[in-house]
Amino acid sequence: MTIDKDKTYKTQDGREVRIYSVDGSYIFCVHGAFNGPHGWVAAQWTAHGFSEIGKSGLPLDLIEVKPRIKQTLHVNLFVKPGGDIFSERYAAKVDADRFAEGRDAYVKIEIDVPFGEGLDNE
């Protein structure tokens, strides 16, 4: 992994990170800050996000924070003659209820997954 200024990172121990530049000189070419107990603390990392040379897995090493998909779906389920089921999904329950005529079941689905979860390109 090479650190990219346009991505979001946190430290191994979970602190929020701001990346200011990735083109600094020498080994510690990534410049930014992490949120410490008393505010933001200036820091620098290697191009691969390490806080020290020759060591990895340290508390201040960087890990990428993947974007998440968070959404609630309200789903009406309908059973056709013969047993086939089809569904209609809505962003709000009031909408699902408005089009509930003939529905056989209602399901509320809470989605909270990393972006790209379940895709074969992993």
Q: Specify the pLDDT at position 115.
A: 83
Q: Specify the pLDDT at position 53.
A: 86
Predicted TM-score (pTM) of the model is 0.62
Residue 80 tokens read as: 């056709």
Alpha-carbon span 14 to 64, nearest angstrom:
11
Q: Is the pLDDT of residue 1 over 80?
A: no
Cβ contact 43:9 at 8 Å: no
Q: pLDDT grade, residue 55 (50/70/90)?
A: confident
State pLDDT tens for residues 8-51: 999 999 999 999 999 998 999 999 999 999 999 999 999 999 99
Chain centroid to CA 64: 9
- What is the largest distance, in Å, between two alpha-carbon atoms of the chain? 70
State pLDDT tens for residues 79-121: 999 999 999 999 999 999 999 999 999 999 999 988 877 776 5
